Chains A and B, each alone.
Chain A
Amino acid sequence: MAAEPFLEVKDLKISFPTDDGLVKSVDGLSFRLERGKTLGIVGESGSGKSVTSLGILGLHNKRNAQVSGQIWLDGEELVSAAPETVRALRGAKMAMIFQDPLSSMHPFYSIGHQIIEAYRVHHRVSKQVARKHAIDMLGRVGIPQPARRVDDYPHQFSGGMRQRAMIAMALVNDPQLLIADEPTTALDVTVQAQILDLMHNLQEEFNSALIVITHDLGVVAELADEVLVMYGGRCIEYGTARTIFEEPEHPYTWGLLGSMPRIDRPNLDRLVPIPGLPPSLINLPSGCAFHPRCAYEPRTGGLGTTLTPELTVAGRPGHLVRCHLPTAERQRIWREEVKPKLEAQ
């Protein structure tokens, strides 16, 4: 029998009842991830990326979020598991790196205290042992003089250092699943590259599964083996990083690629934004959620406005696309219309 995947998310739905209606942040998301592999989840603000990651860690408040579907982590189902079971896994087997390390670390506790706390939740060791381990971790994420900096407070660290400390805190229990939510968004460009390198190296060292959530395709290009593009709480394209960057088939992905700055191309100033705004998650547009912003919608013969497209296998095995356009037509548009334009940019 085929070994079951390390992480499998099946038909995950997360919605929040509000006074204005039900906000369907994640609507039927499925994916798998193996140890040692990196999945990039890409999308605009409000596409459901972060909600998904918080959902995997079980961080949604049961009182204001409705979660359904299945999340299998190493043979254990998390959605139906007792909160205490998920809590014990949190920080130990699965950990998370948050976006803004300044607001994500407690301002009143030293970096060391926060790392020691994270370690001692899951290990019955003395403070001295935990402290040694914390110093060791800080050293491994590249903080100079860790034995001295361990007693510093978050505000005494620079942005990049804080993100390193945050990574040290997430990795202190050797988690097998690491989720990084916009890990470099709050950082300087020069520091971004260092942090990405660090995450890549640490992932290889720990052989953990990594989910990188970002709106920055550059980060995805740097780290991801597979890419999941989200739009309006659904997956609209899924494939290997190579496929997504070289043979993307969804018009939205084309739009994302067109709005990404590339140093290796001339005319840096001519980025092409995707017109319109991300859809309302309370009232998704009828038919294909992307149709109001899609330049190719007229070519679907009216299907785009009436029928929600299914996620279907596209050009290659394992490449999934949610679009009404026939595969051959999408490949032709990419080859003949979109790709030349991107390269001419």
Chain B
Amino acid sequence: MITYIIRRLLAAVVLLFIVSAAVFAIFYLVPRVVGATPETLATRYVGRAATPETVNLIAHKLGFYDPIWVQYGRWVKGIFLGSEYDYGSGTEHCPAPCFGYSFITRQPVWPDLLDRLPVTLSLAVGAALLWAFFGVSTGVISALRRGSLLDRAAMTVSLAGVSMPIFFTGLIGLLVFSYKLGWTASGGSYTPFTENPADWFYALLLPWIVLAFQFSAQYARLTRAGMLETLGEDYIRTARAKGLPESAVNVRHGLRAALTPLLTIFGLDFGLLLGGAVLTEQVFSLPGLGKYAVDAITNNDLPKVLGVTMMAALFVVVANLIVDLLYAVVDPRVRIS
């Protein structure tokens, strides 16, 4: 078990390095291929008004003329050890983990990321709780009453949920519940939990519901399919033959087995969301990582884009790691091999 954990940890670290190299290459190498020069990059820092000499100087100081792997090495080193930035008018220390400075605001990226994380975290955790509960319970009830009116209604609603994009359900939700009925907050009114928990809850309620609706729909369908498959297994018949009550057969034997594959999907979905619920944050103007990423991309702000991408990658990899370890706890067959 210990070796299994160590192996998975090492694999996760290696994976993160591969992801970082790929991301770096995409954002720094690809522009070069299509004709961007070190000067174009440097221009983003100093602005278009600067003289060619200034641009050249900055490009040198920021090392844009160095080979790409040297730049990559410097970037990775910055993440672990921090780095010094020389703007010509004195150096600035960027403490580890340093993801560089924004082209636009000249602010370091990392504190920005830390600022945005609680918003995304609030959104993701709340929505995940909702969809795990409603998705799984709807799926179980549907599976147990397969073919009933309830099952058909639930599956119709969930088909709609899977099919409708967030920017549609989100806007409809805002229109109906916020502007017409006034039950929920309108977009852009996020308040940190630490400042005012009630406002925080009020602002996030609709985003939670909208985001959870889509995932619930998906999880209800997955749970239903998984339960139906499990309930046809021989060991379910054995459980009945032992004289177990139906509820124990369905929950302890059926649901337990049906939930295991869902755990993997849940880990992935949750990890992805932590990297930024892009559409939801955009629709509800929540200042989370997703909105940060969108803004960074719109402004061509490479250090920000790199930082937020790595953050998202980290969450996905860590979520996967946790799922792998949990899997070993849940499924004894994994522990041995």
* A89, CB-defined interface residue at 8 Å: yes
* Cα separation A102 to B235 with both chains bound (whole Å): 9
* B233, CB-defined interface residue at 8 Å: yes
Point out the residue from A92, A106, A169 that lies within 8 Å of B253, measured CB to CB: A106
The answer to whether residues A90 and B237 also contact, given A107-B333, A108-B332, A155-B333 and a CB cut-off of 8 A, is no
* B90, CB-defined interface residue at 8 Å: no
Whether the pair B245, A104 counts as a contact (CB closer than 8 A) is no
Per-residue CB contact flags for chain A residues 90-102 toward chain B (1 = under 8 Å, else 0) read 1110011010100
The answer to whether residues A117 and B233 also contact, given A108-B332, A153-B333, A156-B336 and a CB cut-off of 8 A, is no
Whether the pair A59, B240 counts as a contact (CB closer than 8 A) is yes
* Centre residue among A57, A96, A108, A110 by max chain B CB count within 10 A: A108
Q: For residue A332, which residues in chain B have a CB less than 8 angstroms away from its CB? A: none
Count of residues in A whose CB is under 8 Å from the partner chain: 28
* B238, CB-defined interface residue at 8 Å: yes
Within A142-163, the residues touching B (CB, 8 Å) are 153, 155-156
Contacts across chains A and B counted by CB atoms under 8 Å: 69
* Cα separation A6 to B207 with both chains bound (whole Å): 65
Within A87-144, the residues touching B (CB, 8 Å) are 87-92, 95-96, 98, 100, 103-108, 110, 117-118, 121-122
Per-residue CB contact flags for chain B residues 300-334 toward chain A (1 = under 8 Å, else 0) read 00000000000000000000000000000011110
Closest to B243 in A: A91
Please classify the interface of chain B as helix (H, G, I), strand (E, B), loop, or mixed, using the class held by over half of its residues. helix
The answer to whether residues A98 and B243 also contact, given A107-B333, A155-B333, A156-B336 and a CB cut-off of 8 A, is no
Whether the pair B257, A92 counts as a contact (CB closer than 8 A) is no
Whether the pair A98, B237 counts as a contact (CB closer than 8 A) is yes
Whether the pair B257, A98 counts as a contact (CB closer than 8 A) is no
Whether the pair A105, B243 counts as a contact (CB closer than 8 A) is no
**Closest Cβ–Cβ distance, residue B100 to chain A (whole Å):** 47
Within B169-202, the residues touching A (CB, 8 Å) are none
Point out the residue from A87, A104, A108 that lies within 8 Å of B238, measured CB to CB: A104
The answer to whether residues A108 and B331 also contact, given A100-B234, A103-B234, A103-B235 and a CB cut-off of 8 A, is yes
Within B225-277, the residues touching A (CB, 8 Å) are 233-235, 237-245, 253, 256-257, 260
Whether the pair A117, B244 counts as a contact (CB closer than 8 A) is yes
Q: For residue B234, which residues in chain A have a CB less than 8 angstroms away from its CB? A: 98, 100, 103-104
Whether the pair B235, A117 counts as a contact (CB closer than 8 A) is no
Besides the contacts A57-B241, A98-B238, A104-B235, what 19 more A-B pairs have beta carbons closer than 8 Å? A59-B237, A59-B240, A59-B241, A88-B243, A89-B243, A92-B243, A100-B234, A104-B237, A106-B235, A106-B256, A107-B331, A108-B256, A108-B260, A108-B330, A118-B242, A118-B243, A121-B242, A156-B336, A169-B242
Residues of B in contact with A (beta carbons under 8 Å apart): 233-235, 237-245, 253, 256-257, 260, 330-333, 336
